[in-house]
Amino acid sequence: MEKNKPVSLLYDFASIIVTGIVAIAIIFTFFFRTADVSGSSMVPTLNDKDVLMITAHQKEVKYGDIVIITQPNAFNEPLVKRVIATAGQTIDIDFDEGVVYVDGQALEEDYIAEETHRQEDFEGPVTVPEGHVFVMGDNRNNSSDSRSALVGFIDTRYIYGKVIGRIFPYGSWDVYK
């Protein structure tokens, strides 16, 4: 009986490890995913190399949500941006004043680095088509986003997930302050 004890302990240990790996795989496949931030377009909210936890399947997004976008673009990489307007809403930007308007109302954007003065090739006002969103980076004057034809409106089918919080750096989870 004593001879089987080490084998039994090894089997129990292996069983616990395998069960843990399977549980983590299920959680990160069906409920949550991670994504890395690349670049400075979301400063001051997010920084280059931040690691984010995102929802695995995001169907509905609203103004203010930070999303990961996999829509093909000129940069050939996923983008991290904030939803500014959804289908049917009209966007206009006063680049002299640096103010973004949605449906004629100026947005209160305490999350941006500075006012919006970089125009890209945006000619407003524009209405967001059905099944799409208009996104912008929080670092407005250093972000390629829906103001540019290189990105344009985002088809909601290409929204990989909504950011829930920041995993790394540790201690700075809340990105929606």
Give me the active site residues, please: 41, 81
Mean local confidence (pLDDT), 4-18: 83
What b/e sequence results for 1-19 when a residue is b if at least 16 CB atoms lie within 10 Å of its CB, and e otherwise?
A: eeeeeeeeeeeeeeeeeee
Q: Give the span between the Cα atoms of 101 and 136, in whole angstroms.
A: 13
Locate tokens 């949500």: which residue?
Answer: 65
| pLDDT on residue 42 | 95
Which H or E run includes 85? strand 79-86
Mean local confidence (pLDDT), 30-54: 90
| CB count in 10 Å sphere of residue 20 | 10
Q: Give the span between the Cα atoms of 108 and 119, in whole angstroms.
A: 19
**Class level of CATH domain 33-168:** mainly beta
- Residue 3's pLDDT band (boundaries 50, 70, 90)? low
Q: Where are the domains of the chain?
A: 1-30, 33-168
* 59-65 contacts at long range (C-beta below 8 A, 24 or more positions apart): 59/156, 61/86, 61/133, 61/156, 61/159, 61/162, 62/86, 63/102, 64/176, 65/162, 65/163
- Residue 95's pLDDT band (boundaries 50, 70, 90)? very high
Please write the tens of the pLDDT for every residue from 102-149: 999 999 999 998 999 999 999 989 999 999 999 999 999 999 999 999
Residue 12 in this model has a pLDDT that exceeds 60: yes
What b/e sequence results for 27-44 when a residue is b if at least 16 CB atoms lie within 10 Å of its CB, and e otherwise?
A: eeeeeebebebebbbbbe
Mean pLDDT of the chain: 89
Q: Give the span between the Cα atoms of 83 and 135, in whole angstroms.
A: 4
For 87, residues 6+ apart whose C-beta sits below 8 A from its C-beta are 128, 129, 130, 131, 132, 133
Residue 46 in this model has a pLDDT that exceeds 60: yes
| Paired tokens of 73 | 């673009």
